[in-house]
Amino acid sequence: MSEIADFAEHIAREAGELIRREREQNTLRTDYKQQTELVTHADIMADEFITKAIRKAYPEHRILSEESMPDLSQAEEADTPLWVVDPIDGTVNYAYGHPQVAVSIAWAEKGRVRVGIVHAPFSGETFRAEKGYGATLNGRPIKHSGATDLRQSLFATGFPYTKDDLAPLLRRLEVMIHHCRDLRRIGSAALDICWVACGRLDAYYETVSPWDFAAAKLIAREAGAKAGHFSAVPEGYPEDLWGKDNLIAAPEIYEKIRGLLAGA
């Protein structure tokens, strides 16, 4: 499996260099998906680079990619291995010149994520995990914060681009703000989760797409954090790739947060 992890890390780094260079050297070209979600020309370029490399190296594998192949039915369990790709997680950050941007690449087999790479090109940080072998940041082992006191815990979340149904999200936010130390709004789900993995955050929750969290959730689990959902996962759907109501946290505070969010 290390061969696949090495390959995934290599193309994530190459894609990261592409998007870093594109932002520094060119005027960004932007557009919108579904009239609400920002996308840049660099998203498309990085997506094409990654998917082309995967097709060349592993032509028999399937690809679920945010920009070029966003068919969520691919996330359902199948015999063929699946790559889950987000060429730029944190596109709004990217367009505004913020550094919290990541390339996320996961590799799954029979619905279980086995390899996860999250590369942050502007901070020069690469998070990596292989199932059963722990998680690293730039080659050094990482571990969750070990938080035990919810009142002293720092959490992160995000909000959807469409604002039609914010009421339940605001109820959850209110209950979390009242029970935790504070909130951080970073703008990249992959980095939110990786920051839980390395102890910069104590918890994260949000509903997002598989390409946003698949790699990072494995990294968090391999760093000893607990990862799951605060609502039911449909029977038969791969839990590793189900995007609704994700929750990742230090183990001692996980159930407390899960209860708060489910109740809200």
Task: Look up the domain containing 91 and give its range.
Answer: 2-141
Among 141, 163, 183, identify where a domain stops: 141
Q: Is residue 155 pLDDT above 70, yes or no?
A: yes
Q: Do 135 and 168 fall within a single domain?
A: no
Q: What is the pLDDT at residue 161?
A: 80
Q: Do 82 and 196 fall within a single domain?
A: no
Q: Which residues pair with 83 in a beta bridge?
A: 63, 107
Among 108, 141, 174, identify where a domain stops: 141
- Interval 9-24 mean pLDDT: 95
38: CATH = 3.30.540.10
Average pLDDT, the chain: 93
Q: Do 100 and 29 fall within a single domain?
A: yes
Annotated binding site for Mg(2+): 66, 86, 88-89, 212
Among 92, 119, 141, identify where a domain stops: 141
Q: What is the pLDDT at residue 34?
A: 58
Annotated binding site: 66, 86, 88-89, 212
Q: Do 120 and 159 fall within a single domain?
A: no
Q: Do 111 and 165 fall within a single domain?
A: no
